[in-house]
Every structure is written in structure tokens, then in C-alpha cells.
Amino acid sequence: MSSVDANQTKDGFFAHVYEVVEQIPLGMVATYGQVATLAGGMGKARFVGFALHANPRPGIIPCHRVVFADGSLTSGFAFGGIDAQRRLLEGEGVNFLADGRVDLATCRWSAGT
């Protein structure tokens, strides 16, 4: 055992991802790349997806608030369908574009807001 806590060293980057995603306020969305960057891993955007799919905290981590860099939602097999996710975000107050994309221009979350 090192001086570090044996309680936190196991997740590393993933833990940061969960932290960041949990910080996303309602009515806002963040992109995988953005979360990855905030989590301290610029370029590890894919792991953000992995981390969210792992979903260690169902109900706590609003994975549906995390979208692609261009505002599109996850490939369809997640959440039970993009339409379901879109519905959810709309219910939270997120605006959508006619293309079926999240209006990042209005709902893009920033750290510290």
C-alpha cells in the first residue's frame, strides 16, 4: 500500500469521467471529447464512452447528457434508442436542431458554469 488511499487509485481516469459527467447540470449537455479533456485525458474521448458504458453508478451518471462532438447522440443502441435519448434531453430543457442533434450552441455545458 502506498501512501495513497487504497480507495481511489483503482479508477483513475474513469473516476474523473464519472465525476465530470455527474457535474453536468440539467438542461445541458457535454461532448465526449470535452468530458475527456475535463477529466484530464485529451484524446481519450473513446474511454469516456467506455467509462459511461461501464455505468458503475446507474441513475447517478446522466450518460444521456453526453453527446458527440458534433451534437449527435450515441449510435442508437444506447439508452434504448436515440429517439429515447432525444426525448429525455428535451424533457430536461435541452433544445434540439431540426437534424435531430442537440443544440450545442445553447446547451453546451462548460466547467464552472
Q: Decide if residue 50 touches DNA (CB under 7 A).
A: yes
Task: Kindly report the length of the chain.
Answer: 113
Question: Using the rule CB under 7 A, which residue among 46, 81, 83, 97 binds DNA?
Answer: 46
Closest CA to 68 of 38, 48, 51: 48
Q: Find out whether 108 and 28 touch, Cβ atoms under 8 Å.
A: yes
Question: Using the rule CB under 7 A, which residue among 9, 26, 40, 53 binds DNA?
Answer: 53
Question: Using the rule CB under 7 A, which residue among 43, 98, 99, 113 binds DNA?
Answer: 43
Q: What is the dihedral of CA 53, 45, 42, 5, to 10 degrees?
A: 10
Q: Decide if residue 14 touches DNA (CB under 7 A).
A: yes
Q: Is 1 in a helix, a strand, or coil?
A: coil
Decide if 107 is catalytic.
no
Kindly list the residues in this chain that would bind DNA in the complex (CB under 7 A): 12-14, 31-34, 36, 41, 43-50, 52-55, 63, 66, 68-70, 74-75, 78-79
